[in-house]
Amino acid sequence: MRTIRSLLIYGKKITGLPENRIYKIATDDNFWSMGDLGPCGPCSEIFYDHGEHLKGGPPGSKDQDGDRFIEIWNLVFMQFEQLSKDKRINLPKPSVDTGMGLERISALLQGTHDNYETDHFKTLIKISSNLTKTKVTKENIASHRVIADHLRASAFLIAEGVLPSNEGRGYVLRRIMRRGMRHSHTLGSKEPIFYNIVPTLIQEMSDSYPELKRAEALITEILKTEEEKFSTLLSRGMEILNDNLSKVKNNSLPGEVAFKLYDTYGFPLDLTQDILKNKKINVDVAGFNKAMNERKEKTKLAWKGSGDQTVDKIWFNLKDKIGSTEFLGYEKKKSEGIVLSLIKKGKEVSEINQGDEGELITNQTPFYGESGGQIGDIGFIFNSNSNFQVVDTQKKLGDIFVHQGKLVKGKIKIKDSVNLVIDNERRANIRAYHSATHLLHEALRRILGQHVIQKGSFVGPDKLRFDFSHTKPIDENEIKKIEKYVNDMVKSNSEVRTRLMTPKEAVDNGALALFGEKYGDEVRVLSMGKEKNKYFSTELCGGTHVKNTSEIGEFKIVNQSAIASGVRRVEALRAEQLANYLKKKKQELDSLNKITSNKITSLEKEIKNLGEKPAVVNDLPNNEKIKKLNKQLELINIKLILKDKNRNEIKDESIKGLKVRYQLVKDFPSKELRSLIDQGKKDLKEGIVIVYTVVDGKVGMAVGVTNKLVKKYNAVELVKLGSKVIGGTGGGGRNDFAQAGGNLPEKIEKSFQNIIDSI
């Protein structure tokens, strides 16, 4: 590698720059490293002089931190590896790492030395100013810049498939988002604004970064949900923080208090520091870290791991030696092959014997290796002398198919010729579930919104599990619509089309690419479902699929749940597995109905017998006994009503950032509506619950408002708005719970909408 001095001379020759514009700076000040350890080396940096009207001197001078000379390019001569603080060695293959400051160049071309004064940032800052209703000043410009910068970073991360969480890169995203959101609150904004800036960001950048446009719905939904959660978190945390300010000593908040805020209430340390900075109060970070380490130690003691900390390098060696496996399973269920490698107890061996467990690799295979959510195939690998039972197939390093199992007969050696046969019935079920997953994905997007993107899946022979981005439960009506979409596509009896093309061609042809997934030079594009002149679903996928949608059979979602912030899971069954499931459910329901029916009959008989007895028995009036029995009977009927989805409709939605539950229950006693309101509040945690019941043509309604919202919304006022539409004359109660009635059940939906319009 050339020395810095020779490079400077070479640079002078190439550029023609005079000596007075080339500066040699001491290596300790002009040296790049990625951290305390790792590759490093001296730099050759290019600066731009923005002119004498700005303060600052050339690099290496005492005034170098001014704005006049701005670095726009950096060449790092990677020639060392830092092994420790005091030890550095030469790299075996030195190189040049070069990088240009794209935004600094943009600023230069637009005649400014400040990245935030470029047209791109000025547009974002302007919309931030409009939404927060604050004029940009010297005092608040930093907050507007943080909002613009952090929104942009958040949008790109989400487009790449990162979702906010409490660990890993998801935690980094959440911290970026919350710091920007914190600044919007600092500017006085009480409503979410991040998601409202997204259209402007996409308009500014989607020509160069089309992934932003494709992920627009997901970005918008995630930002909106996170800011609503952050607003609640901030409000709660501020209350707790203010309550603990009395514990501040020597202008410092104790570390254990900061840790309690973090551990119990989810209030990050940096947010606590950010808030207290305005009050000129520090946080005892050492005390916080001590409490954090104590918690980690307790967690470690509670964890029982496998103890295996080895990193298996065998696959890299095999990749170099035998290359990739040719997969034949798209068309074939059996094939011949040559044994290329045998692994036993983590080490490559020349042969395995009867009773040995191990792993077997052939030059080609019909066995699908687990990937893309689809589990690996099972079956047998055999010849005239041996039989290897495959219990799983895994993919290593992308294209080595590893058959895992046990040799149940004979002996197998490297270079043996073998026959490979998969469990075809099992594969057929897996294929059908995988194709159903594609139809489900598109149906979810059509019913719930384009923000829905797959976040994980499991495709097995007896069920499918699908994880996707969505922030609230799917109501019963939505589930029915989703199932109808899938079943209509199954009944369309249409052929499944497979094409090979580049990722760009696939996306241009309408294929849905999963954000964050990395694709090779060529991809398989699966299209299925006949819908006028186009396909219902088109996705990039390397899995195995049915030839015709009719092979999927009847489809039904049997369960849904939340598995992470902004991520929900549905489980579904099809064909024979669904028939068995429904049969079992019917048997359980019939058994429950029989027990309930017997109990009702017994209570009715007891009530009738009491009615025929004298007025007083054992000093207790019969009518009191009858009242108690009737109450038991009523409670049983209430439970039956609430379990009957045809008589109990529940729909949760977010309206203007507020959680609202709509519930309509038929034949439910109005006097019991309070219990439904209480349950609704418990489910929503924070929001408004609106419940209606219809009994003999009469309407009962109730409205509940959770505690933190009663200052903004009054249940009595809301119930009056709904009551007048259903023919009522008003209503009464408290600001957190109110009831009313009416006689126009056909106006219930309009009554609900009247309340919503007032929110």
> Taking 80 as the threshold, does the pLDDT of residue 606 lie above it?
no
> Taking 90 as the threshold, does the pLDDT of residue 705 lie above it?
yes
pLDDT for residue 409: 93
> Taking 70 as the threshold, does the pLDDT of residue 266 lie above it?
no
Give me the chain's average pLDDT, please: 83
pLDDT for residue 642: 62
pLDDT tens digit sequence for 435-489: 999 999 999 999 988 888 888 899 999 999 999 988 777 888 899 999 999 999 9
pTM for this entry: 0.61
pLDDT for residue 161: 79
pLDDT for residue 308: 37
pLDDT for residue 182: 82
Q: How confident is the model at residue 95 (pLDDT cuts 50, 70, 90)?
A: very high
For the CA atoms of 345, 350, 351, 356, what is the dihedral angle to 10 degrees? Answer: 0
> Taking 70 as the threshold, does the pLDDT of residue 142 lie above it?
yes
Q: Compute the distance between CA of residue 69 and CA of residue 108 in angstroms, rounded to an integer.
A: 11
Share of the chain above pLDDT 90, in %: 33
pLDDT tens digit sequence for 207-240: 888 888 888 888 888 888 888 878 777 777 777 7
Helix, strand, or coil (residue 705): strand
pLDDT for residue 560: 86
> Taking 50 as the threshold, does the pLDDT of residue 759 lie above it?
yes
Tokens encoding 128: 């931030």
Q: What mean pLDDT do residues 517-540 have?
A: 81
Q: Compute the distance between CA of residue 416 and CA of residue 397 in angstroms, rounded to an integer.
A: 24
Q: How confident is the model at residue 197 (pLDDT cuts 50, 70, 90)?
A: very high
Q: Compute the distance between CA of residue 525 and CA of residue 542 in angstroms, rounded to an integer.
A: 8
Report for 306-315, 407-416, 524-533: range of highest mean pLDDT: 407-416
Tokens encoding 40: 């490093």
Q: Which residue has the higher pLDDT, 600 or 545?
A: 545
pLDDT for residue 640: 61
Going by C-alpha positions, the residue among 539, 543, 531 that lies closest to residue 510 is 539
pLDDT tens digit sequence for 490-500: 999 999 999 88
pLDDT for residue 244: 79
Tokens encoding 346: 């983590």
> Taking 60 as the threshold, does the pLDDT of residue 41 lie above it?
yes
Contacts 24+ apart (CB under 8 A), 649-655: 649/476, 649/477, 650/475, 650/476, 651/475, 651/476, 651/477, 652/472, 652/473, 652/475, 652/683, 652/684, 653/472, 654/228, 654/471, 654/472, 655/756, 655/759
Q: Which residue has the higher pLDDT, 298 or 348?
A: 348
